[in-house]
Amino acid sequence: MKTRTIAILGATGSIGTQALDIVRRYPEQFRADCLTAHGSAEKLFELCREFRPRFAALVNEPREIPGDLRGIEWFFGADSTVRALLAARCQDALCAIVGIAGLDAVWHALDVCERVLLANKEALVTGGDLVMKKAANLGKPMLPVDSEHSAIFQCLQARQGNPLKRLLLTCSGGALRNWKKADMYAATVRDVLAHPTWNMGGKITVDCATMVNKGLEVIEAHHLFAMPAEKIDVVIHPQSVIHSMIEFEDGTVLAQLGMPDMRGPIGYAMGFPNRLPYDAKPLDFAALGHLDFAAPDHDRFPCLGMAIRALKAGGSAPVVLNGANEVAVGAFLKEHIPFGRIAEVIDRTLQSVPVSPIASIADVYEADSQARAFAAESIKF
Ligand code: NDP
Ligand code: MG
């Protein structure tokens, strides 16, 4: 089998390290030729020692590069990820940076890579129309890594050209799924980071607790699968065993199931169309006994509805939602605001920053900085 080169952008994160676990398992299939991170220098050095990429990038320049890693071509600074990506010209790019910070990388990965493996959902939430258009024009596949979108993508392999009635995104409900509304406002960082089924980076774990994550995923699904918001439904499924579903016009529903382990969807994107076995825990239906489902509770989780309304509003509204959320989640993780303020900050920002058309990536950044400025200001009060 021929070895594929892969750039792992956000290599030190939850998705990045799990992707490297697959590279470690299949050294004859993958060569991680470009590894990037933001500030986790020591962690990146360790990964570089093991995987020996030709290119590496750190946004925050470290005091010095260890002697044994000086053979690697290093890039530093705000645009270091993109410069390393463009220099490496890998066949695949796994975009696993968190937040809109990953948008530029996704945009440029489409220019130089054969395939983009997308974990960075915020890139589609903010630049979805532009990114998908560019991917289509260049004929480059965007392979989803987010578990729900991977599930839908896997189900779609059986579509045979038939029209879809709707997509059903499943949702664990996050760490506060059983909390009373009155208690949720003051939930601590510790409460919120205790996700019941998935082990992920900090930002997305908070997003799951507010359920804005599911809203971001509705927007992501809209772009990836060209489905209108009205045809994307969310169903609460606490066991996270059904990763998502598609429904056809004849009422048939196809689902993709598995134990919650991100190496499943990451490996599916990396190996596509081949499946790469890993030490997955098998599904034991008898031990599970039952699978539960419920409708989302919009009263306790207002951010889900805000995201869906932003998608329907169009233009810059999803960018504004995302920017406000990134600011509010950052403030919550630093314990500057209580959990309940996250939804308030997003809501106020969406109501105050006017919706504008998005015709270019520059428009995306303009709307993002307006939203961030408003959200940062509203956090002070
Ligand atoms: P993490 O916070 O664990 O990792 C983020 C990675 O991006 C790190 O390598 C980090 O470097 C790097 N990074 C952060 N900020 C910047 C920046 N400004 N410029 C360049 N690099 C940066 O996040 P996750 O792995 O959890 O999530 C990554 C993406 O995947 C998110 O969009 C998330 O929504 C999505 N996703 C994640 C899932 C999961 O299971 N974790 C599941 C589905 C989707 P450093 O370590 O140096 O800070
Ligand atoms: Mg997901």
pLDDT of 378? 94
Helices and strands, number each (H, E), in the chain: 16, 11
Residues 6+ positions from 228 with CB-CB distance below 8 Å = 222
Could you list the residue range(s) of the whole structural domain that residue 24 is in? 4-144
CA 180 to ligand 1 center in whole angstroms: 30
167 and 275 part of one domain: yes
CA distances to 222, 268, 351 from 157, in Å: 18, 13, 40
pLDDT digits (tens, 9 = 90+) for 31-68: 999 999 999 999 999 999 999 999 999 999 999 999 99
Asked if the structure places residue 374 within a domain, the reply is no
Asked if the structure places residue 87 within a domain, the reply is yes
Name the closest-CA residue to atom 20, ligand 1. Answer: 38
- Residue after which a domain boundary falls, among 260, 286, 313: 313
Q: Could you tell me where the DSSP H helices lie in the chain? A: 14-25, 41-51, 80-88, 103-112, 121-138, 147-156, 181-184, 189-193, 202-210, 212-225, 263-271, 285-288, 302-313, 317-333, 339-352, 361-379
191 and 99 part of one domain: no
pLDDT of 1? 72
Q: How many domains does the chain divide into? A: 2
Strands 164-171 and 232-236: parallel
Asked if the structure places residue 359 within a domain, the reply is no
pLDDT of 267? 98
95 and 229 part of one domain: no
Asked if the structure places residue 354 within a domain, the reply is no
Asked if the structure places residue 124 within a domain, the reply is yes
Name the closest-CA residue to atom 43, ligand 1. Answer: 146
124 and 156 part of one domain: no
Asked if the structure places residue 193 within a domain, the reply is yes
Contact between 339 and 187 under an 8 Å Cβ cutoff? The reply is yes
Residues of the chain with pLDDT below 50 are none
- Residue after which a domain boundary falls, among 122, 144, 166: 144
Pocket test for ligand 1, best of 98, 152, 326 (most atoms within 8 A of CB): 98
269 and 156 part of one domain: yes
Percent of the chain with pLDDT over 90: 97
CA 99 to ligand 2 center in whole angstroms: 14
Ligand nearest to the CA of 218: 2
Closest CA to 316 of 356, 346, 286: 356
Q: Per the confidence metrics, is the pTM higher than 0.95?
A: yes
The protein residues having their C-beta less than 5 angstroms from ligand 2 (an ion) are: 146-148
Please state the atom number of ligand 1 nearest to the C-alpha of residue 105. 20
120 and 244 part of one domain: no
Asked if the structure places residue 337 within a domain, the reply is no
CA 316 to ligand 2 center in whole angstroms: 23
60 and 173 part of one domain: no
Between CA 104 and CA 111 the distance in angstroms is: 11
CA dihedral sign of residues 11, 94, 282, 164: positive
Asked if the structure places residue 380 within a domain, the reply is no
For 197, counting Cβ atoms within 10 Å of its Cβ (0-12 exposed, 13-18 middle, 19+ buried), the class is middle
Ligand nearest to the CA of 264: 1
**What are the pocket residues of ligand 1 if the criterion is a CB atom closer than 6 Å to any ligand atom?**
10-16, 37-40, 59, 81, 96-98, 101, 119-122, 146, 198, 200-204, 262
CA 314 to ligand 2 center in whole angstroms: 22
Contact between 333 and 206 under an 8 Å Cβ cutoff? The reply is yes
Between CA 123 and CA 128 the distance in angstroms is: 7
163 and 107 part of one domain: no
Name the closest-CA residue to atom 2, ligand 1. Answer: 201
Q: What type of residue sits at position 132? A: M
Name the closest-CA residue to atom 4, ligand 1. Answer: 13
Ligand nearest to the CA of 14: 1
Ligand nearest to the CA of 207: 1
282 and 230 part of one domain: yes
